Amino acid sequence: MTSLRKRINPGNWNITANDGTTLVAVNVVTGEAFSGTPQAFAALLRTPVSETDPVKVYPIVKILGNENLTAGIAHVESLAIDAETVRIVTQEDIFVEIGENPVATVDSTIMLANSLEYFQITRGDKVSVLQVNVGGIVSVAPVQM
């Protein structure tokens, strides 16, 4: 099961090319190579770890605000975030970049459709998103842990 977790962890993949039709990536932990459609890559990352894997437990947080971004073919950037943790929820597969002046590209971290992630940030950072395949709404919410 550990090797399967290493295989499907989005952070373990280095995307070397993505022209919208073909995505090429290498898993930096397992050495596995992938070449195929962005949809096939997203499906690979959705592989269940096991039928008995426990449900994810998310922390209890206080939501301090919210900004909805629309991911498209050009990156879009949030306003500066006045918090040290941000919650990102996405309807579609997206690339995410966080920083002072971030620009999401095909080399950025991938978040899968209908997922929720928390990120530690530096107060004042912004979030930039870019669609993988289809545009969609991305909720960016500063939170207090």
pLDDT at 55: 46
pLDDT at 134: 81
pLDDT at 104: 95
The pTM of this model reads 0.61
Question: Over its length of 145 residues, how does the chain's per-residue pLDDT go in tens digits?
Answer: 445 555 566 667 788 877 777 878 888 877 888 888 777 777 677 655 455 554 455 667 889 999 999 999 999 999 999 999 999 999 999 999 999 999 999 999 999 988 888 899 999 999 999 999 888 888 888 888 7
| Domains in the chain with CATH codes | 2-45 (no CATH), 62-144 (2.60.120)
CB 110 within 8 A of CB 132: yes
pLDDT at 123: 95
pLDDT at 2: 46
pLDDT at 121: 94
**DSSP structure string for 94-121:** EEEEEESS----TTSEEE-TTEEEEEE-
Strands (E), 22-92: 23-27, 33-36, 62-63, 67-71, 76-77, 85-90
